[in-house]
Amino acid sequence: KNEVEQSPQNLTAQEGEFITINCSYSVGISALHWLQQHPGGGIVSLFMLSSGKKKHGRLIATINIQEKHSSLHITASHPRDSAVYICAALKNYQLIWGAGTKLIIKP
Amino acid sequence: DTAVSQTPKYLVTQMGNDKSIKCEQNLGHDTMYWYKQDSKKFLKIMFSYNNKELIINETVPNRFSPKSPDKAHLNLHINSLELGDSAVYFCASSQVGANTEAFFGQGTRLTVV
């Protein structure tokens, strides 16, 4: 069992839908990252959370430290949001990665 | 300015060759990483350096040798390349202990033929 689990693995939705991707971790962490990997392969850091909630545009990330759970939400989804979304737990000097969620938004 | 830059972006080489991938960050971060992304798109840590000192060395063949001349650079040298080394390699940096993001290079797609 991975120390960082993401769900779902694959998600296909229609443009405009509200998207939720979940991440659970079993290790003690100092922070949790949400990252986006574009179809071209590049990785972009979206959020780094150690508590509470962060918002950037249509993206919202929340974390519950007690429950060891984080969620990434996308409001008013758009085809350009199609990508792989990865959560990674920062423990000491190591990022422990989830397997990623492949999101496809259809027009 | 690019925060974390890797070169080259693409590398095609024959089995048995020795090659290097370079990584530089201009963010002043004290920790740098090398990750390998396998065919299933899963990222696995290979090495982590903090202030030029090796912190993490996962089970990686000793054909892979990281070199950190200063805390802004972490290069990956691979000897005697094998077909199974074909993958995308990502360099990243962060400031551990502070409230900062991890930043990634654009990746190097290595193809061993």
Note the pLDDT tens digit of each residue in A2-34: 789 999 999 999 999 999 999 999 877 878 899
Q: Give me the residue from B97, B100, B106 closest to A42, CB to CB.
A: B106
Sign of CA dihedral B38, A70, A50, A57: positive
Residues B16-33, mean pLDDT to the nearest whole number? 94
B83 CB near a chain A CB, below 8 Å? no
For residues B34 and A91, the model is more confident at: B34
Q: Give me the residue from B41, B42, B45 closest to A95, CB to CB.
A: B45
pLDDT at B75: 96
Residues B30-38, mean pLDDT to the nearest whole number? 87
Residues B95-101, mean pLDDT to the nearest whole number? 64
Cis peptide before B69, with omega less than 30 degrees from 0?
no
| H helix or E strand, kind and range, residue B17 | none
Say whether pLDDT at B107 is over 80. yes
pLDDT at B99: 55
Q: How confident is the model at residue B98 (pLDDT cuts 50, 70, 90)?
A: low
pLDDT at B55: 76
A69 CB near a chain B CB, below 8 Å? no
The three-state secondary structure class of A100 is coil
For residues A6 and B39, the model is more confident at: A6
Residues A88-94, mean pLDDT to the nearest whole number? 77
pLDDT at A95: 76
pLDDT digits (tens, 9 = 90+) for B57-84: 777 889 999 999 998 999 999 999 999 9
Give the gap in angstroms from C-alpha B102 to the nearest C-alpha of chain A.
7
pLDDT digits (tens, 9 = 90+) for A36-89: 988 777 788 898 888 899 999 999 999 998 899 999 999 999 999 999 999 988
Side-chain half-sphere of B50: how many Cα atoms within 13 Å?
A: 9
CB B50 within 8 A of CB B56: no
